[in-house]
Amino acid sequence: MTRLEQDRRAFLGEAPAAGEATARPLRSAVLVGVSYLLGALVPVLPVALGTRTVAVSLVTGALVTVVVSAILAFLSGMKVGRRLLTNVTILAAAVAVTSVIGLAARHIWGISVT
């Protein structure tokens, strides 16, 4: 089995075949952490580069979501449309939760970012 196939199986959480080495927890943690930071930078980077509207962040986030969904669909063997729907649902839930946290912070402590 190739290294790519082993990594794909480890990424998808499949049990390793007999005699295969298991992934190291530290390596997995670093991969998740770096992925999280890169994902968080996607909508923030246009603002850091000087854009004045939220539209650029929305378009950038949408494009990256489509690309990541296509890659994950390919790796997992899932249909691209289904993977995209799954990712959009997760993103919508994350946006809703963080919006509620922001509204609560504004209401409770008077914190506002505008």
Contact between 16 and 10 under an 8 Å Cβ cutoff? The reply is: yes
Q: pLDDT digits over 28-73, tens only?
A: 899 899 999 998 899 899 989 998 888 998 899 889 989 989 998 8
**CB count in 10 Å sphere of residue 5:** 10
Q: Is this model's pTM higher than 0.75 or not?
A: no
Q: How far apart are CA 34 and CA 14, in angstroms?
A: 22
Reduced to 3 states (helix: H, G, I; strand: E, B; else coil), residue 83 is: helix
| Domain spans in the chain, listed from the N-terminal domain onward | 3-109
Q: How far apart are CA 91 and CA 88, in angstroms?
A: 5
Residue count of the chain: 114
The pLDDT of residue 20 is 58
Contact between 87 and 68 under an 8 Å Cβ cutoff? The reply is: yes
Helices (H), 12-79: 25-48, 54-76
Q: How far apart are CA 92 and CA 12, in angstroms?
A: 23
